[in-house]
Amino acid sequence: MSNTSSMIKILFIEKKRTDTPIFSSGLAEKGYDVITVISGKAAVEDLEKVNPQLVVVNAPSIRSSGQRICQSLKKQTESIPIVLIVEHEPEDQQKIDADIILALPFTLQKLLNRIRPLLPNVAKNLVKAGNFELDIDNRIVRCGDKQIVLTPRLVVLLRVLMEHKGEV
């Protein structure tokens, strides 16, 4: 991950438990500015002070469904995306005020792939054309929530095509 991810603040609601995976430390290792709180109440209180670009609720780690936490956060600000981590896939996802719901088990890479589209683009070497986004520094092309890692030669070729759309 490039150093541009360090500009992105993530408010993470999570407690360290031996029976649930912890993701906040993995995101911090990837360069994100992760602020961890241990309860929904603390998250609501710190929301304005921290001013995050994303909130992640690890519900199993705090022994909660996460629904009331998401509702409280959305009441305070609708513009900040919320990712809810749950133990089991909920039956009615429409009732939950989260932008993304992830059911355990999953890897840190899956979490990264799902949160990336929700985060502001801070990469300086980013080329956009239509639905396509080329991250030159990381050699990744994205279309919607799908992404592909490219070879250096493909990055150069795709960059030329994207910067000269309609000409080639």
- The pLDDT of 121-136, averaged and rounded, is 76
Q: Which is more confidently placed, 6 or 85? A: 85
pLDDT at 94: 66
The pLDDT of residue 123 is above 90: no
| Strand 126-129, strand 132-135: pairing | antiparallel
Contacts 24+ apart (CB under 8 A), 153-159: 158/134, 159/127, 159/134
Confidence of residue 3 (pLDDT cuts 50, 70, 90): very low
Q: What is the mean pLDDT of the chain?
A: 84
CB atoms within 10 A of CB 49: 7
Averaged pLDDT for residues 49-58? 92
pLDDT tens per residue, range 34-48: 999 999 888 888 888
pLDDT digits (tens, 9 = 90+) for 15-35: 887 777 789 898 988 888 999
CA distance 26 to 48: 24
Q: Which of 16, 108, 110 is nearest to 61 (CA)?
A: 16
pLDDT band at residue 1, thresholds of 50, 70 and 90? very low
**Residues 63-84 pLDDT 10s:** 888 889 988 888 888 888 999 9
Kindly list the strands in the beta sheet with 82-86, ordered across the sheet, starting from the edge strand earlier in the chain. 33-37, 9-13, 54-58, 82-86, 100-103
pLDDT higher than 50, residue 2 = no
State the pTM of this model: 0.68
Chain Cα centroid distance, residue 133: 17
